[in-house]
Amino acid sequence: MLVAMYYNNKDIRIEDIPKPKIGPDELLVKVMACGICGSDVMEWYRIKKAPRVLGHEMTGEIVEVGKNVKQFKKDDRVFVSHHVPCNKCHYCLNDQHTVCETLHNTNFDPGGFSEHVRVPKINVELGTFLLPDEISFEDGTFIEPLGCVIRGQRRANIKPNHTVLIIGSGISGLLHIKLARAKGVKKIIATDVNEYRLNATKKFGADFTINAKENLPDRIKEINDEKLADRVIICTGALPAIEQAMKSVADGGTILFFAPTDPNKTIAMPFNEFWTSQVTLTSTYAAAPDDIKEAIELIRSNKVNVHDMITHRLSLEETGKGFQIVADAKDSIKVIIKP
């Protein structure tokens, strides 16, 4: 079968490898669509394990079913989560599923930028979900990133009466806008340095947009009755954005770190100011099964419309082009590969 093999962001090769053989507790899924995630082009992170087949925002159709698998059948339309928790460890039992060691070590075989994937037993049992008729294969590629956003906003304890500031308006930032809008958040402020993305924030539900080159705290006060933001969500790893966030959060507020920085970076913080203002700093990673279920329902019911975020649809052979579009981060939002 054909796969798009990742060597680095500018070297994606179409290669022919054997189609995976499944065991009695496994599934073989024909990939119908797979989104390119911002983390896929995070080269410092991905290149350590190259060459490999990436792609984790995957939907497809079951073509082979292991003899012991009873809950799925051939031709079922499915979304498959690559990372799944054990649901048994200390972390899982305390709603910390995404720090579970099992979650960090599970995956399907190979990645979603391929014609077929083998779904291991644990992913069959805990990470495979029927795709409702209302959700297309394309729209289903948003299930995993929306699940991550759902988990992040729950950790930040976002409420309708909050003013929410979103720093960085790539795909994650835009999904945060859409989810906050669906939750009825009273005031959503979005920032970026890219005018294309700033225009997208207006289309997708932001009440106010600010070019990140401006004085962010001053602009927030101008549009928010002299108050800073109750919640700040950082969807970029740029260090200046983190510094902006620390100056833009209100007393008693929360900063959610949704994106990592480059490795070995350190952030200086005005500790006494945070101590007296009682600001909460939190982070989030990945999505747990309940987050995935909620994402499926939000997309199915169209409470969060994702279809209008797709800007590029490419073939497997064009995966390299797709990686460049996402890495350049110019006039694109969601790039989907359709093997």
- pLDDT, residue 257, reads 97
Task: Write out the two tokens for 227.
Answer: 């108050």
- pLDDT, residue 255, reads 98
Domain residues of the chain, as ranges? 2-144+288-338, 157-283
Task: State yes or no: pLDDT of 210 exceeds 90.
Answer: yes
pLDDT in tens, 148-176: 999 999 999 999 999 999 999 999 999 99
Rg (CA), the chain: 20
Q: What percent of the chain shows pLDDT beyond 90?
A: 95
pLDDT in tens, 11-54: 999 999 999 999 999 999 999 999 999 999 999 899 999 999 99
- pLDDT, residue 268, reads 87
Which residue intervals of the chain are DSSP H helices? 43-46, 121-127, 137-140, 143-155, 171-182, 195-203, 216-223, 239-248, 271-277, 289-300, 319-328
CATH of domain 2-144+288-338: 3.90.180.10
- pLDDT, residue 181, reads 98
- pLDDT, residue 267, reads 87
2-144+288-338 and 157-283, same CATH topology: no
Mean pLDDT taken over the chain: 97
For range 224-229, the mean pLDDT: 97
Residue from 54, 61, 69, 55 nearest 121 by CA: 69
Task: Give the whole-angstrom CA distance, residue 132 versus residue 281.
Answer: 36
For range 277-287, the mean pLDDT: 96
Q: Which long-range contacts (CB under 8 A, 24 or more apart) does 66-72 make?
A: 66/22, 66/23, 66/24, 66/25, 66/26, 66/27, 66/124, 67/24, 68/24, 68/25, 69/24, 69/25, 69/26, 69/27, 69/124, 71/124, 72/27, 72/124, 72/128, 72/130
Local confidence band at 327 (pLDDT 50, 70, 90 cut-offs)? very high
- Range 40-59 burial, b when 16+ CB lie within 10 A, else e: bbbbeebeeeeeebbbbbbb
CATH of domain 157-283: 3.40.50.720
Q: Answer whether 124's CB lies under 8 Å from 25's CB.
A: yes
For range 98-104, the mean pLDDT: 97
Question: Model pTM?
Answer: 0.96
- pLDDT, residue 270, reads 87
pLDDT in tens, 250-277: 999 999 999 999 888 888 888 898 899 9
